[in-house]
Structure 1
Amino acid sequence: MPDRPHTAGAPTREQRVSRTFVALADSLVADFDIAEFLDLLTTGAVDLLSVAAAGVILRGPDGHLEVLSSTSRQADLLEQFAVQADNGPCIDCVRTGMPVTCADLEVQGKRWPRYTAGAQACGFRCAHAVPMRLRGQTIGVLSLLGTEPGALDEERLGLGQALADVATIAILQHRAVEHGDRLSTQLQTALDSRIVIEQAKGILAQRGTLTMDESFTALRGYARAHGQRLAVVASSVVAGSADLDAILIPGPRGSDRA
């Protein structure tokens, strides 16, 4: 896979490498758009590694593989087929966490008969897969496809791995932030609910001349008896829309004996 010739005024390969990594880094600074980021990754891989097409397959939270980005319709069809058939260099790469290369599918593709047939139907003659992994965790694969037989030399394989590594770090960071945001939201919701419940306990304690513990028992018993969330009943008490007398009724309907 020879590098494209350099013409006067055209950026050198080193400049293109630098610009690709800068573009990937810049996409992380603003609001992170994973679709845009993966598009930059795959188009950059095609440009820098002199392949015909590239794609990204990621492992979702449920463990299933999904095709998230492809530089051409034919590449997308092949990647989707690989996932459905559970066959191909990309699938082996995800399983092992190691690069998988096939310079000539017609000669070396017998280990992936279904994938090889699909690749040839889509016009691809070679396929290479670079793992997207970090500290033993493989989250996906960067697939590199060629329309002519050809190997990836050590330099291009290393550059492909560097692109995949940058993408892996970015995606895991994004997932960590999202997870952190969910935890923060859950914590804030829990804190807000606690405040509302304390306010409702105070209102019930005053209305029924009860201790705070007794008012909480009444509040909780009513919520359980009526199949409602405690925070929802407490909110209705604070908002003034609840039937306080019904909540304060002792016995099966208004206490923990419900």
Structure 2
Amino acid sequence: MAEQHTPRSLIVTFYGAYGRAFDGPVPVSALIRLLGAAGVDAPAVRSSVSRLKRRGFILPARGADGAAAYDLSEEARQLLADGDRRIYADAGRDGGGEWLLAVFSVPEEERHKRHLLRSRLARLGFGAAAPGVWIAPAALYDETRHTLERLQLTPYVDLFRGAHLGFAATAEAVNRWWDLAALAKQHEEFLGRHEPVLRGWQSGPGPTPEQAYHDYLLALDSWRRLPYADPGLPRELLPSDWPGERAAAVFAALHALLWERGAAFARPGPDAP
């Protein structure tokens, strides 16, 4: 089955990869051109932009020439900055033995916040250790704090940093806290889609700026979810045939090969293609 890249996801990925390099807001015309190069038609761009505006991710603005444009909200800039640290780095696989525990209690009359807490902790990469107790590598503290503060959920949560002391072996416990088989499958699917792209560019002529932009945007749109599903679990706690490091290496190679060349296509200004 072909991978589905939704227009809204691709717009977020574009802002993370290239949109922040614009000198000011991104003109609507540029969004249509650059998302069109990734296979998204103009009506889908406009519809997705409207949804992202309602969510507060982007804000309406005017370009230097007065044309309609969109800028990132401060919340979106913080989200993308947090994402940079997760997406472009090998998040803490050297171990160290420290974990971050989020312990929460939400009154029944506010149970909708309990669901929000669970879903956001899961999206950050936490595993469920027990009811109301979620666990992640300690390196995720800053991003977790930013997320809980932004969503005004801090009154319901206590955060702790510490070591796992038993009684099950930590590797066995990790296999309960996370679905490692499902995570491995996600890494393998990424490799199946994007490793052939890397091998093709490595063995043949280099990509044009538009080709580099297209292939990088799709690879990043696939990859950026994986460091959240797999939050950098220590090497020694994972199966010996774990595909995560190979997937990370393929993305790093694609980034090195394609990102800067793709920027020549995405670059704003009169010299843009």
Shorter chain as denominator, the TM-score bin is under 0.3
TM-score, scaled to structure 1: 0.24
Which of the pair has the greater relative contact order for Cα pairs under 8 Å at 6+ separation?
2
Q: Work out which of the two has the higher radius of gyration on C-alpha atoms and give 1 or 2.
A: 1
